[in-house]
Structure 1
Amino acid sequence: MTNKELVLKFYDEVFNKWDISNLDLYMKDDYIQHNPTAKDGKVGFIEFTHFFFGLKPHIEIIHIAEDGNFVFVFFKCTVENGAINKVCDIYRLEDGKLAEHWDVVEHDVQNIISVNKNGLF
């Protein structure tokens, strides 16, 4: 399985099905987190999911790219209350598992009026 395929499977199973039962297949125990609202490690990620899954997120991947051990995922995240976030996640993989994560998030874009016709996604 390529790094890109692993990340796609991770998003489908974990983020869209809200299922962390197979997290050991995807993530290293010492996962490094650069999002300031989440703790390091697999345990920190699990703690983050308690909050995040409560929002009932649905992720629609717009673009995904792989460059060596890095995978870049640009997606639309819609939560149950109708809020939409525009997100780019960056992962570094090691030994076929997620080892490190960065993200760039634009929150609540559902009310943004664009000055062009290109759209947000």
Structure 2
Amino acid sequence: MQIQLDQQGNSTVAIIRSDEVVIKEVQDALDLMATVRYEADCDKLLLHKSGLAEDFFELKTKLAGEILQKYVNYGFKLAIVGDFSVYDSKSLRDFIYECNHGKQFFFMSSEQEALEALHAIR
């Protein structure tokens, strides 16, 4: 896993690059958050969909909710980049829609969109 930083003004986003699944369970998400805060000194994170276990996208597992709640508790912002059209769950589509209209979590189709969303929030 590599952490690449994207800086725009006073805003820094940590972009996670990995060929493996980085988050399989809640503790992995907490560890990643701690690593990013320690190594990059920032609270905005961009992660590709491939870095998340597929269970994240099955809302009935509650993995997404638990992870996002931890990130809210610690004031972390998160953008997940990927193609979410492959999921046919109405609940997941609604969840993604609500997240994208907030200021904490984003599901975007490109890194550029994700960076713009993260840099726009303070």
> TM-score if structure 1 supplies the norm length?
0.25
Structure whose residues are more often helix by fraction: 2
For the pair shown, which has the larger CA radius of gyration, 1 or 2? 1
Structure whose residues are more often strand by fraction: 1
